[in-house]
Chain A
Amino acid sequence: MKISNARDPRTLLTAAFLVLAFLIPLFIGSNLYYLTILILMLIFIIYASAWNFLTFSGQGSLGHAAFFGLGGYAASLLALRLGLPPLVTLVFGGAFAAVIGILIGLTCVRLREWFLAMVTFGFAVIIQTLVVSQLAPVTGGWDGYPVPKLVPTSIPGYLMIEYYLILIIAIAVILIFHYLLKSRIGLALAAIRENELEARAAGINPVPFKLFAFGVSAFVTGIAGSLEIFHFGYITPEIFGIDLSFWPIIYSITGGLGTLAGPIVGTIVVTLLWDGLNAVGLTYARFIIIGVLLVLIIIFLPRGLVSIPEEIQKRIRRKKS
């Protein structure tokens, strides 16, 4: 890890990126549209990073919207019933998602990756059904319920404050992931991902590590879900939708699976591309372009957009020799 090396271009890039993230609102002012896009982008960066963290342990989920929504419902219900400020209940939303995530993880750790993908997908469907039927007295069923905003709209420039709050949360989340992956836990996760049998032989019991990864991922996803709900000011069961499970996958793959920068780059590029295509008036073609992009990246750039500089270097070296 050369993160501390100031001459490393990656450090420079990260620094430049951070400065940009903090300064952007100064350039665009408190423009509702840009801030909305940026806030949603940040929420999805957190969400995609959380999903991506799971893949560090060699697991994959197709139903992360379950945790996204559970976090949202838990946090907003607490905020409503107990009158706690949203910033506090966020953590409870994440914790609730994490508990459920570990329970799901317990049933899944013995399963192979395809099975896990299916179980998580099914879990999102089951949760949504529960929320609109049996749990409807608490959740309001399909109608949902209004939720307080993260920052009350009565405060002037509340959207800007919201942006900075979410930005700080996003940075914190990514820093935590960074240190987790550098720690012994990260090494163990990598060993399990590369070869579970060998990891076992080396004395690593994969089960607690996998559960840990699942719990952390669900926790952060729950926080992202709560953030979205507190941003919208209204919650409905659409939060468990299939598309919400798929977006973080698309973002992470586009940016680069198994890298910290991947989900960030992926989310930014794909959302900008998406909104750009929307602005030029493409409808179905927008989905087709995203689909083609995804397929091409998996085939030709398996490590995502963040690996482009390396690929170019490799190409140049090959040409020289």
Chain B
Amino acid sequence: MDGSIGILSQVAFWGLYSGCIYILLATGLNLIFGVMKIVNFAHGEFLMLGTYVTFFLFVISGFNPYVLLICSIPVLIVVGIIVERLCFRPILGTGKLNEIFISLGLIYIFQNMVAMIWTDEWRSIKSPFSDITISLGPLQLPLDYLIIITVTILILVAFYLFLQKTALGRAIRAASQNRKGAMLMGINVEKMDMLTFGIGAGLAGAAGTLWAVSGQVFNPYMGSIPAIKGFAIIILGGLGSIPGAIVGGLAIGMVENFTAYTLGGSWKDAVSFILLIVVLVIRPTGLFGEAEE
């Protein structure tokens, strides 16, 4: 054997890379859940929009696609804010599952609007670094993935600093810990809702750009499965827990790839849900979730 350690660490590296996309999605979902106590199943459509915004700008401008992060994040923040205002604000505090049902509607709307504009053919773009691969012993480390992993870490650090060090970030955390209390303290909770939803969508948009840059193909229907896995991740990690989202994202990325390695690729989607069910049976609040109520 050509060092099975080498193969295993290679698989772990692929897991790390796919974990990055999941982490960005799950962190956004978790932030939104923390503040608004809603789950948005249409979150994957933000990921999809992110890839298409990147694709569109890349085709007309020809810029280095990594630079387009500067565009895809703000565009998605705006989209997120619009969606929050139009769709989620009116149903806050109504039925228990209404937000899930409304996101079903949003999924149809987004997927098919994109399909109308760009058709539903598969698309891809090419990163300028796609030909560079760094060999480290038995490991193959394409430069793009190293950049993607670094960018993800940078985004997460920036996000952490924003939450900890800025007044806005503190307000968001306050709203997330105790909505009524925050309201009493004079924090405009509705504004925080809008903002968190926007940031969550923005993180998904960043994930979209990274998805496109890594040379993965995309079409209008690509968002649903990653988003649902993102949702499995935050349940796994514990609702509202950002470290939980990061650990959960990495765990799913790894487990998926090792399952594909051992059981075969058909189990790749199913295994995340098996993991989820097993964790929930043992710990109904998720790994890092606090016991509520």
A and B: direct contact (Cβ < 8 Å)? Answer: yes
On A, residues with C-beta under 8 Å from B are 55, 58, 60, 62, 107, 110-111, 113-115, 117-119, 121-123, 125-126, 128-130, 132-133, 242, 246, 249-250, 253, 257, 284-285, 287-288, 290-295, 298-299, 302
Q: Which of B91, B104, B224, B280 contacts A115 (CB 8 A)?
A: B280
Give the chain B neighbours of A242 by CB distance below 8 A: 224
Question: Chain B 83-106, CB within 8 Å of chain A: the 1/0 string?
Answer: 000010011001111101110111
Q: Give Cα distance in the complex from A198 to B264, angstroms.
A: 48
Given contacts A115-B284, A291-B108, 8 further A-B pairs with CB under 8 A are A114-B39, A114-B100, A118-B235, A118-B276, A284-B113, A295-B102, A298-B105, A299-B91
Give the chain A neighbours of B228 by CB distance below 8 A: 118, 121
Closest to B117 in A: A284
B interface, how many residues as a size bin?
35 or more
A294 B104 Cβ-Cβ under 8 A: yes
A107 B231 Cβ-Cβ under 8 A: no
B140 at the interface (CB under 8 A from A): no
Q: Give Cα distance in the complex from A298 to B94, angstroms.
A: 10
Chain-A contact segment, one of B59-67, B208-216, B267-275: B267-275
B111 at the interface (CB under 8 A from A): yes
B277 at the interface (CB under 8 A from A): yes
Give chain A nearest CB distance to B114 CB in angstroms.
9
A133 B266 Cβ-Cβ under 8 A: yes
A294 B266 Cβ-Cβ under 8 A: no
Give chain B nearest CB distance to A147 CB in angstroms.
24
Closest to B111 in A: A287
Give the chain A neighbours of B239 by CB distance below 8 A: 114
B232 A110 Cβ-Cβ under 8 A: no
Give the chain B neighbours of A298 by CB distance below 8 A: 91, 98, 101-102, 105
Closest to B275 in A: A122
Give the chain A neighbours of B276 by CB distance below 8 A: 118-119, 122
Closest to B231 in A: A118
Give chain B nearest CB distance to A46 CB in angstroms.
21
B273 A295 Cβ-Cβ under 8 A: no
B267 A129 Cβ-Cβ under 8 A: yes
On B, residues with C-beta under 8 Å from A are 39, 87, 90-91, 94-98, 100-102, 104-109, 111-113, 115-116, 224, 228, 231-232, 235, 239, 264, 266-267, 269-270, 272-274, 276-277, 280-281, 284
Give chain A nearest CB distance to B234 CB in angstroms.
10
Q: Give Cα distance in the complex from A125 to B101, angstroms.
A: 19
Q: Which of B87, B108, B224, B281 contacts A287 (CB 8 A)?
A: B108
Q: Give Cα distance in the complex from A100 to B275, angstroms.
A: 19
B39 A295 Cβ-Cβ under 8 A: no
Give the chain A neighbours of B281 by CB distance below 8 A: 107
Give chain A nearest CB distance to B94 CB in angstroms.
6
Known: A119-B276, A287-B111, A294-B104. A125 touches B235 (CB 8 A): no
Q: Give Cα distance in the complex from A249 to B104, angstroms.
A: 9
A111 B224 Cβ-Cβ under 8 A: no
Give the chain B neighbours of A295 by CB distance below 8 A: 87, 102, 105-106, 109
Q: Which of B100, B102, B106, B231 contacts A60 (CB 8 A)?
A: B100
Give chain A nearest CB distance to B86 CB in angstroms.
8
A125 B109 Cβ-Cβ under 8 A: no
B100 A119 Cβ-Cβ under 8 A: no
Q: Give Cα distance in the complex from A132 to B52, angstroms.
A: 33
Q: Give Cα distance in the complex from A133 to B263, angstroms.
A: 10
A118 B232 Cβ-Cβ under 8 A: yes
A113 B96 Cβ-Cβ under 8 A: yes
B112 A132 Cβ-Cβ under 8 A: no
Closest to B115 in A: A284
Q: Which of A60, A125, A287 contacts B97 (CB 8 A)?
A: A60
Give chain A nearest CB distance to B256 CB in angstroms.
13
A123 B273 Cβ-Cβ under 8 A: yes
Q: Which of B97, B105, B273, B280 contacts A117 (CB 8 A)?
A: B97
Q: Give Cα distance in the complex from A242 to B232, angstroms.
A: 16
Known: A113-B97, A121-B228, A125-B269. A291 touches B107 (CB 8 A): yes
B111 A250 Cβ-Cβ under 8 A: no
A288 B95 Cβ-Cβ under 8 A: no
Closest to B268 in A: A129
Q: Give Cα distance in the complex from A55 to B97, angstroms.
A: 10
Known: A250-B104, A253-B101, A257-B95. A284 touches B267 (CB 8 A): no
B273 A290 Cβ-Cβ under 8 A: no
Q: Considering the complex of A and B, which 8 residue pairs feature the smallest CB-CB distances, nearest first? A: A122-B273, A291-B108, A294-B105, A291-B109, A129-B270, A284-B112, A295-B105, A287-B112
